[in-house]
Amino acid sequence: MFKFQTNGFSGYAVRYSPFYDNKIAVATSANYGLVGNGRLYVLSIMDDGNIITDISYDTQDGLFGVAWSETNENHVLTSSGDGCVSLFDTTLKDYPVMKFTEHQREVFSVDWSNIDKNLFCSASWDGSVKVWSPGSNRNTSLLTLRSLASREEKTGRIEKPIPVVQPSQVPMSKTRPNIRNDNNDCVYDAKFSFHDPNIIMSCNSDSHLQLWDTRLPNPLFMDFVAHNGLEALSCDFNRYRPFVVASAGVDKLAKVWDTRMIQPNVHSRPPRALNKFMGHEFAIRKLAWSPHGPTQLLTCSYDMTVRVWNDSPSPTSRVGLLDGASQPHAPPCSKIFSAHTEFVMGCDWSLWGEPGWVVTTGWDEMVYVWNTQRLQ
């Protein structure tokens, strides 16, 4: 295990470089990201195990998301609390080479497409996912996906409002139900598919997991409550199984979904997950499928642990799992990493070398590089 301290800055997101086996970008924020500056670290793991800073950039607001460019080995994207997405060139000091400033609120994640390498997407608390094309030197977005508006358009709920019953006629309850809370559609995470350049997945504070096809007039083609009404914080596409995705959230569960089995009917019960992993004691902040195989899933959580799960394809693990009261089968958690002493906010797998290397970061101002295979 190798470590690096991000003194005074709490880690929020971390990514391995897709070009170098020893480079890591870490997005951090002062004061736990609640208020104040941010800092982007670009780190190198040396042969002796030391981790050194190649370069770092101070930013106006806290940084929450980070992604490497898939076209230029020196380009790193960050997203920050002031709604700004910035592209840094690590050969140039101090300032980003491009800024994308359309989002109205915190941008919590950015992801670079693996297929159409000119594109990246950003997920923001303003309720939107935006798609950008920095390669064409264009700093306005190509497309905006609005989670709430699209859902309303799809279900037609807002367009034909039913007359509101006067409270005097129905003295039963003073509160109106607020599932459709306009202020509750912060998008936490958005990812490009590894299999289709037009597909984007996002998850939001309204517990919804949403899939978008950017070719459609209304791109939202799948939308369901994934985490029992509690906030859905992270999602990821499986690299080996084109229709399999995972999501995690405040219900402490990581769930594996087969998107072919999701029914479009909005009035039906929420769909059943293919598999679900129970074990984290607090909300799961981030998850990532392994790049080395179809089954391993990495999760990091507010419970200060990082866990590695095995999504066993055994048929017995796939039946009889009712949501709610009944307990699922024993958790197939193979490894628990507990070196962090605060919330673990970001994690990523290394694409390189011996499979199993991961990097994690959290509010304890630590970056740990460790191997899931060697964990006791």
Binding site for other proteins (CB under 8 A): 33-35, 81, 106, 125, 157, 162-165, 167, 169-180, 186, 205, 207, 225, 228-231, 233, 249-252, 266-270, 281-283, 285, 302, 325
How far apart are CB 228 and other proteins at their closest, in Å?
Answer: 6
**Radius of gyration (C-alpha) of the chain in whole angstroms:** 20
Name which of 166 and 376 has its Cβ closer to other proteins: 166
Name which of 1 and 35 has its Cβ closer to other proteins: 35
How far apart are CB 216 and other proteins at their closest, in Å?
Answer: 24
User: Got the DSSP string for 292-347?
Assistant: S-SSEEEEEETTS-EEEEE----GGGGSS--SSSS--SPP-EEEEE---SS-EEEE
Report CA 2 to chain centroid distance, whole Å.
24
Name which of 150 and 214 has its Cβ closer to other proteins: 150
How far apart are CB 312 and other proteins at their closest, in Å?
Answer: 25
- Angle at CA of residue 15, ends 6 and 11, nearest 5°: 30
The pair of structure tokens assigned to 104 is 């109205």
Instruction: Please check whether residue 267 is in contact with residue 282, taking contact to mean a CB–CB distance below 8 angstroms.
Output: no
Helix (H, G, I), strand (E, B) or coil at 15: strand
Name which of 130 and 252 has its Cβ closer to other proteins: 252
How far apart are CB 211 and other proteins at their closest, in Å?
Answer: 18
Name which of 93 and 269 has its Cβ closer to other proteins: 269
How far apart are CB 333 and other proteins at their closest, in Å?
Answer: 18
How far apart are CB 2 and other proteins at their closest, in Å?
Answer: 28
Between the CA atoms of 284, 77, 71 and 98, what dihedral angle is there, to the nearest 10 degrees? 160
Name which of 70 and 251 has its Cβ closer to other proteins: 251
Name which of 24 and 254 has its Cβ closer to other proteins: 254
User: Rounded CA gap, 155 and 15, in Å?
Assistant: 37
How far apart are CB 251 and other proteins at their closest, in Å?
Answer: 5
217-240 as b/e: b if 16+ CB within 10 A:
eebbbbbbbbbeebbbbbbbbbbe
User: Got the DSSP string for 106-139?
Assistant: -EEEEEE-SSSTT-EEEEETTSEEEEE-GGGT--
Instruction: Please check whether residue 338 is in contact with residue 305, taking contact to mean a CB–CB distance below 8 angstroms.
Output: yes
